[in-house]
Amino acid sequence: MDSRWRLGPLPFGLESLLRFVPIVGGTASVAVSLYQVVLALRLRLPASKLARMAVYVAVDLVLGLIPYLGDLADVFFRVHLRNQRIIDRHLDAAGAAGQQ
């Protein structure tokens, strides 16, 4: 969603393209973000990690409401990658703890 393609040095993804469609694009982006949070909840991530993910989604939503600036912020903030990193690190740590 955040970094599938590159435009020069800047990665961008489907979210950046969706944001060009008013209302629908932002709604779809937030829906995907919330789906990540639901998956994290199912994976039983700690409340602190879930809260951080929810804050990232809220920041992305608020920034997305600002015309033009919100589109630019999506390229740099990349909420989906941030939240995926939280999930991946948790799973890596859980896997490492299980192997001991």
Phi, psi dihedrals of residue 6, rounded to the nearest 5°: -130, 140
pLDDT-derived band of residue 23, with 50, 70 and 90 as boundaries? confident
DSSP state of 21: S
Q: Is the confidence at residue 84, as pLDDT, over 90?
A: yes
Count Cα neighbours of 80 within 13 Å in the Cβ-side half-sphere. Answer: 19
Domain ranges of the chain: 22-94
* Average pLDDT estimate for 42-55: 96
* Average pLDDT estimate for 55-83: 84
pTM for the full predicted model: 0.77
Q: What is the pLDDT of residues 71-83, one digit of tens each?
A: 777 777 888 889 9
pLDDT at 41: 96
Q: Determine the Cα–Cα distance for residues 3 and 81; give it in Å rounded to an integer.
A: 8
